[in-house]
């Protein structure tokens, strides 16, 4: 379980998180949405411990990770798989090398075991037999799949997805959503997905959180979000220019 309690974060005079509260249950898939630049990536970076808050807590299985030292944080990070915005595969490595990376770095598995796990992970993301290719040779959707295989290879309890479908066409977007669903069923991870893909993302999500002006203004199942009376949520899901969300910055 992930518990975010009264999280505050500013950069200089810019307040980005202004008391974020959110609980994510084990094996839940939740979405965080909010306008570009509202602090979604900043929030996710606090869950990984890449950023430290000004105040507040992030509890992962009861452990407040905001006060851990680097070594303790490394232990917690073993529970986490992350798909960063933009994918960030190692271009100089083959797909196989990319997916095998964590296993080679962090475990003492034999070469044969590593190979078997990479082959299985690639099969799980629908990319059988492409291990020898380089990232440059892949489409945007395939790169995302490789990034997911790379994140899943250590069988993390929690997977964080930062805009996994941004820049992809609607069909590929649906296929990535389906992939999150099928790998979630197989691996049983807890997932936090940052996404603007409304309403498609609602199909794979148990709850949706709306981040606005540094706070979660609504956190509810997709059906409630669809029928929300919150002006912020209504404006965001309809893409209207009129409302509390400013469209000019």
Q: How far apart are the C-alpha atoms of 109 and 175, rounded to whole Å?
A: 32
Radius of gyration of the chain from its Cα atoms, rounded to whole angstroms = 18
Pick between residue 96 and residue 236 the one whose CB is nearest to ligand ADP. 236
Strands 29-33 and 207-212: parallel
The distance of closest approach from Cβ of residue 41 to ligand ADP in the complex, given in angstroms and rounded to an integer, is 3
33 is an interface residue for ligand ADP by CB under 6 A: no
The distance of closest approach from Cβ of residue 166 to Mg ion in the complex, given in angstroms and rounded to an integer, is 9
Q: How far apart are the C-alpha atoms of 103 and 150, rounded to whole Å?
A: 9
The distance of closest approach from Cβ of residue 41 to Mg ion in the complex, given in angstroms and rounded to an integer, is 3
- Structure tokens of 218? 């609504």
Q: How far apart are the C-alpha atoms of 133 and 230, rounded to whole Å?
A: 47
- Structure tokens of 230? 């919150």
Is there a contact between 144 and 177 (Cβ–Cβ < 8 Å)? no
Pick between residue 42 and residue 99 the one whose CB is nearest to ligand ADP. 42
Q: What is the x/- site pattern for Mg ion, positions 38-67, by CB under 5 A? A: --xx--------------------------
Q: Which does 177 bind (CB under 5 to 8 A by kind): ligand ADP, Mg ion, none?
A: none
Instruction: Out of 7, 22, 29, 42, point to the residue binding ligand ADP (CB under 6 A).
Output: 42
- Interaction site with ligand ADP (CB under 6 A): 11, 16, 34, 36-42
């Amino acid at each position: 379980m992930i518990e975010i309690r009264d999280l505050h974060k500013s950069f200089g005079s810019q307040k980005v998180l202004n008391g974020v509260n959110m609980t994510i249950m084990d094996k839940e898939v939740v979405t965080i949405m909010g306008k570009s630049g509202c602090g979604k990536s900043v929030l996710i970076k606090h869950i990984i411990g890449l950023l430290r808050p000004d105040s507040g807590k992030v509890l992962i299985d009861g452990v407040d990770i905001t006060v851990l030292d680097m070594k303790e944080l490394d232990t917690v990070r073993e529970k986490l798989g992350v798909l960063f915005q933009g994918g960030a595969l190692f271009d100089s490595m083959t797909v196989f090398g990319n997916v095998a990376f964590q296993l080679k770095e962090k475990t003492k598995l034999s070469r044969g075991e590593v190979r078997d796990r990479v082959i299985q992970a690639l099969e799980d993301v629908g990319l059988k037999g492409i291990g020898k290719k380089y990232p440059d040779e892949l489409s945007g959707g395939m790169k995302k799949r490789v990034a997911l295989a790379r994140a899943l290879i250590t069988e993390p309890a929690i997977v964080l997805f930062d805009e996994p479908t941004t820049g992809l066409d609607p069909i590929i977007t649906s296929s990535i959503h389906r992939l999150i669903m099928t790998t979630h069923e197989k691996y049983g991870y807890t997932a936090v997905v940052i996404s603007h893909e409304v309403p498609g993302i609602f199909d794979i999500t148990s709850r949706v959180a709306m981040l606005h002006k540094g706070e979660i203004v609504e956190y509810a199942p997709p059906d409630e979000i669809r029928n929300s009376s919150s002006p912020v949520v209504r404006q965001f899901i309809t893409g209207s220019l009129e409302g509390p969300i400013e469209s000019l910055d």
